[in-house]
Chain A
Amino acid sequence: MGQFIQQLINGLTLGSVYGLIALGYTMVYGIIGMINFAHGDIYMVAAIISVTVITLLAALGISAVPLALMVTLLVVMAFTAVYGWSVERVAYRPLRTAPRLAPLISAIGMSIFLQNMVQLTQGARVKPIADMMPGQFNLFTFDGFTVFLSYTQLMIIVVTVVLLAIFTYIITRTSFGRQQRACEQDQTMTALLGVNVDRTISLTFMLGAALAAIAGVMVTIYYGVVDFAIGFVAGLKAFTAAVLGGIGSLPGAVLGGLIIGMLESFWSAYYSPEYKDVAGFALLILVLMFRPSGLLGRPEVEKV
């Protein structure tokens, strides 16, 4: 029982990270209807930048955790957003009217490029940082097994819930959200109505990158190690989460992330850690067979 609750907490944490990355996927998919294959690598870039920023702050002697955390988040989000913007500008915008597969290939190219760029400029070795927020709440003891919730885990879960709320508000209530949903439906018509489509899409990529940046910072603090190759697997999981939850739906992305995270956590604990990836994909295939548009996705209406 104690271990069960502990795995639940670990799974929620992992799932929240997947959910944060999945939000970026789902937003970009929502607006231009394509898989942003480089999104996992944007997340990796963010994690690497956060290592630099955290190390720099430590060297400058800024040790107050809330201040250091805020500064890290803001700086990393800003830089990563520029990366998100550039990726869109270079690999997607020229191909907006191209056949559907063309941007997918340029995105895969971008993913390869980013990974190797980071490997070249930052080195291939694993980068460790000191635990920024040591400490934990010991929740209760059951059969001699103490269930704990570390400060970092709590922070990750809270941040995910808050961000989901903020982004749901942005998409459903603000003028930018309306523009974005309009672009999703018909870009030409939206442009005729005076919306700057290019700007809206760019901004969406930047917001998605900023979300990936937050996930990157959180993971760096949580695990304490980062390298140039973490983007692919995380991106794959997050994309699975986005599809599982119903792509285009923000709560769906987080829900999907949580399901995948918890499945992995329980599968590793009770069955076998080797096959946890298989479990996630098998679940995805099963869900898609019975609900082809994901758990919370709207069924697509085919117009002729």
Chain B
Amino acid sequence: MTTFQARTHTVTLTERLKDATNVALIAILLGIPMIGLHTVDAGGKLMVATRWPWLLAFVATMFFGRLALQFAIDQFKLKRLTRQRTRTLEVATPRPWLKWLGYGLLGFSLVLPIAFSDNRYVVDTATTVLIYVMLGWGLNVVVGLAGLLDLGYVAFYAVGAYSYALLSTQFGWNFWETLPVAGALAALFGILLGWPTLRLRGDYLAIVTLGFGEIIRVILINWTEFSGGPNGIGSIERPSFFGLPFKPDSDDGATFASFFGLEYASEHRVIFLYYLILVLALLTNLFIARLRKLPVGLAWEAVREDEVACKALGMNVTNVKLSAFAIGAMLGGFAGVFFAARQGFISPESFVFSESATILAIVVLGGMGSQFGVVIAASLLVILPELGRDFSEYRMLLFGAAMILIMVWKPGGLISRREPSKVLAGVEK
């Protein structure tokens, strides 16, 4: 248990140095087997090589880094201590700026492809962000609202993507025809998985969903006749603009460019896809916002807060959880359809556990239950690795470190507000 102790004396330099020395000692122990020593391949046989200067640099960095960090933390605590004396406990204040920031972001996202119409990379990245926003909102229903830990969300994403890929390549279905079917299929999978397992306690549910995600992936890899195996499915039909395909002009039928009398450009499709996912994401947001006001949404939050009380009130807890699971799965399926339509090619490589982990990280980093937090976190988690492409070797290393740091810094998420949508009038929070 961490107890907060008010510092009565200023920390002496000796104490600081001692603390940093301890850190440096640990760093030596951590560094010797990984940095100091390493094995290299010497003619088919391993040899041990040393890198002592690197180790020294690492230990020195840790020593001085700790000194600086500790100093910063002490200053921060001191400041907070003096502030707390003057200010009374802050009651969760409504944050109007958040709403305006939301509108601002919405406006920005509407004009983004116009502002960056000559920069395909930006629009592409923004589309990826929006896919993750949609996935994050879908998972948020399960994790944030209903409080169920799902580590295999990517399975539903895969169900959606493969539904579209198979239906379009085998039966010639188009994007809009597949969308509801794929969503229903994903929801069905959610119910099939949830029905036997939702009685389990939180952490068991986590491992079962994790296992389910792996099962789906293994089946996709190995059932070659069905899914194309590790080679995946290619040349999936791209979505069209109300029947007008994005193709260079040709004799058979009107294309988007010829219908509007435009010069054909491949950017048209990129921009169209961007607006498509934007609309899908906004609809998702609206859908969830409405659901939260309906009895089922309130029931999710009630079950999250106190399952036993809900049972005592005669609620069918399993059905409540199941509905959250199915709706979350359905939204994941929609996102999957869009993903397949956008890529034109899918393979099991896109549906590995790290995807589930990323989506879960988006929900938790954003602050569970917060729609806006998901947007911030999704942008962060997509753009950070993109920015890191220049030093790509360290990209994932820094990504992992950032995940730890953000959690330690803000354990409740970036926008941490987990208050129920409805509270009893007159109850002090």
Contact = CB atoms under 8 A, between A and B. Distances in A.
Interface of A: 29, 33-35, 45, 48-49, 51-53, 55-56, 59, 79, 82-83, 85-86, 90-91, 93-106, 108-118, 120-123, 125, 127-129, 187-188, 191, 197, 232, 236, 239-240, 243, 247, 272, 274-275, 277-278, 280-282, 284-285, 288-289, 292, 300, 302, 304
B408 A289 contact: no
The 7 closest A-B pairs by CB, nearest first: A109-B403, A98-B411, A113-B400, A281-B211, A112-B400, A106-B407, A116-B397
A278 B211 CA distance: 8
Contacts of A191: 1
A300 B201 contact: yes
B203 A35 contact: yes
Contact of B207 (A128, A243, A289): A243
B15 interface: no
Contacts of B399: 109, 112
Tell me if A's interface is mostly helix, strand, loop or mixed. Answer: helix
B46 interface: yes
Contact of B48 (A52, A85, A109, A302): A52
Contacts of B30: 82-83, 86
16 contacts: A56-B48, A82-B26, A86-B30, A90-B408, A95-B411, A99-B368, A99-B411, A99-B412, A113-B397, A121-B35, A128-B46, A240-B207, A274-B221, A274-B222, A277-B215, A280-B211
Nearest to A188: B1
B296 to A, nearest CB: 23
Tell me if B's interface is mostly helix, strand, loop or mixed. Answer: helix
Interface in B207-243: 207-208, 210-212, 214-215, 218-219, 221-222
A269 B73 CA distance: 57
Contacts of B202: 100
Given A51-B46, A285-B208, A278 B39 contact: no
Interface string B307-335: 01100000000000000000000000000
Given A128-B46, A292-B200, A91 B37 contact: no
B357 A108 contact: yes
Given A35-B203, A113-B400, A115-B396, 13 more contacts: A35-B206, A35-B207, A55-B48, A59-B47, A96-B1, A112-B399, A113-B404, A115-B400, A123-B38, A125-B41, A128-B46, A240-B211, A277-B215
Interface string B42-59: 000011100000000000
B196 A285 contact: yes
A215 B397 CA distance: 25
Q: Which of A112, A129, A197, A285 has the most CB of B within 10 A?
A: A112
A234 to B, nearest CB: 13
A247 to B, nearest CB: 8
B353 interface: yes
Contacts of B211: 240, 280-281, 284-285
Contacts of A100: 202
Contacts of B37: 52, 56
A210 to B, nearest CB: 14
